[in-house]
């Protein structure tokens, strides 16, 4: 009898281990709280709630190196794990472009999907003479030193690059003459513009909502494919003739060594989350705009973003 009990217990333990080994894991490359943690917890929960995965998704926080520790872990230790997804964002792409992960490159993983984004915006003070994005661009072309921007990232970071992408798209090439002041976060950046210390602010929609509602600033453009729900009065850069999309997307990558079939399957699962009411509710509650790219389309898009970021980063001296 004792032997049978031991056998049953061992079988049960093996079953638990086997089940756990096939549970999906989502690595958030940061401490709890913040964008990457949100991505894993929200998408992971919805994947299970709508039946895209058989077991609840395990979230693992792996902070370090601005995402570099998790990236190295996936590449070196989990390259063929088809039950692993990892939270990513535009910050991931920018850091890879600028070689911030100690020599690791973007082609060592596969970017599988993005299903929401914090839209990039270009903002001016309420009394600014600029009435649209082209007014601002034309002023910079006439006198590059006449317009200074504040942003919540350091020089060469994503907020800075948004402005440079816009100017390059309009044919302005002397981008080192553009004045940019990097401050500690979007709140400080918008304060610079409200106080007329800078002529413009470059940041994300979530950073300016309160200032827009109070009438202290005006948004000249939102850098999305389409106007943002709830902010339909703000035109896109594209509809003003400047084909720039710059959003802090929330998405996922997977190990490079998984099969093409598994990669496409993950794309379909993420698309199902994007189409769910649960995700639409989560976006509305957290100020995100629709932004859905999955599978090979998303991978190609990220490749293009990284290539453009490399060019811009070299031009402004962030990398050699």
Pick the CATH number of 2-117+248-315 from 3.40.190.150, 3.40.50.20, 3.20.20.70, 3.10.520.10: 3.40.190.150
What is the rounded distance in angstroms from the CA atom of residue 41 to the CA atom of residue 278?
Answer: 13
Token pair, residue 236, equals 């896109």
What is the rounded distance in angstroms from the CA atom of residue 13 to the CA atom of residue 5?
Answer: 12
Q: For the CA atoms of 61, 67, 70, 71, what is the dihedral angle to 10 degrees?
A: 150
Q: How confident is the model at residue 181 (pLDDT cuts 50, 70, 90)?
A: very high
Give bridge partners of residue 135 from the DSSP assignment.
Answer: none
Q: pLDDT at residue 2 above 50?
A: no
Cβ-based neighbours of 127, under 8 Å, separated by 6 or more = none
What is the rounded distance in angstroms from the CA atom of residue 121 to the CA atom of residue 26?
Answer: 30
Give the pairing type, strands 25-28 and 84-89: parallel
Query: The dihedral of CA 49, 53, 56, 60: what is its sign?
Result: negative
Q: Please name the CATH architecture into which domain 118-240 falls.
A: 3-Layer(aba) Sandwich (3.40)
Q: pLDDT at residue 302 above 90?
A: yes
* Residue 176 CB neighbour total at 10 angstroms: 10
Token pair, residue 174, equals 């002397």
pLDDT value, residue 22? 55
Q: pLDDT at residue 21 above 70?
A: no
Q: What mean pLDDT comes out for the span 281-286?
A: 84
Q: pLDDT tens across 116-159, in order? A: 988 999 999 999 999 999 999 999 999 999 999 998 877 888 88
Q: What mean pLDDT comes out for the span 210-235?
A: 91
pLDDT value, residue 10? 39
Listed in order, the ranges of the chain carrying CATH 3.40.190.10 are 118-240
Question: Which of 36, 46, 44, 45 is CA-nearest to residue 88?
Answer: 36
What is the rounded distance in angstroms from the CA atom of residue 315 to the CA atom of residue 110?
Answer: 27
pTM: 0.74
Query: The dihedral of CA 104, 108, 114, 120: what is its sign?
Result: positive
Q: pLDDT at residue 30 above 70?
A: yes
Burial 271-288 (b: 16+ CB within 10 A, else e): bbbbebeebeebbeeebb
Listed in order, the ranges of the chain carrying CATH 3.40.190.150 are 2-117+248-315
């Amino acid at each position: 009898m004792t032997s049978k009990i031991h056998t049953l217990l061992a079988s049960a333990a093996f079953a638990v281990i086997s089940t756990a080994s096939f549970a999906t894991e989502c690595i958030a490359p940061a401490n709890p709280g913040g964008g990457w943690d949100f991505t894993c917890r929200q998408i992971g929960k919805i994947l299970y709630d709508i039946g895209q995965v058989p077991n609840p998704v395990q979230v693992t926080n792996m902070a370090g190196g601005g995402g570099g520790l998790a990236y190295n872990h996936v590449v070196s230790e989990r390259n063929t794990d088809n039950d692993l997804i990892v939270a990513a964002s535009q910050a991931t792409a920018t850091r890879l472009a600028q070689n911030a992960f100690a020599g690791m490159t973007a082609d060592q993983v596969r970017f599988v999907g993005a299903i929401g984004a914090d839209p990039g915006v270009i903002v001016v003070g309420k009394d600014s003479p600029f009435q649209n994005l082209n007014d601002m661009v034309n002023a910079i072309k006439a006198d590059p030193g006449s317009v200074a921007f504040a942003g919540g990232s350091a020089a060469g970071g994503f907020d800075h690059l948004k402005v440079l992408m816009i100017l390059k798209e309009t044919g302005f090439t002397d981008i080192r003459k553009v004045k940019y002041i990097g401050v500690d976060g979007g709140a400080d950046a918008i304060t610079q513009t409200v106080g007329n210390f800078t002529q413009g602010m470059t940041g994300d929609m979530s950073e300016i909502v309160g200032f827009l509602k109070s009438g202290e600033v005006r948004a000249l453009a939102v850098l999305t494919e389409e106007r943002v729900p709830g902010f339909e009065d703000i035109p896109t850069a594209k509809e003003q003739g400047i084909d720039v999309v710059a959003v802090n997307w929330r998405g996922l990558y997977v190990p490079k060594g998984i099969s093409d079939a598994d990669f496409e399957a993950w794309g379909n699962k993420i698309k199902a989350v994007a189409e769910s009411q649960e995700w639409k509710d989560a976006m509305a509650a957290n100020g995100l705009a629709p932004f859905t790219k999955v599978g090979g389309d998303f991978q190609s898009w990220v490749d293009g973003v990284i290539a453009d970021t490399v060019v811009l980063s070299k031009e402004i001296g962030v990398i050699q």
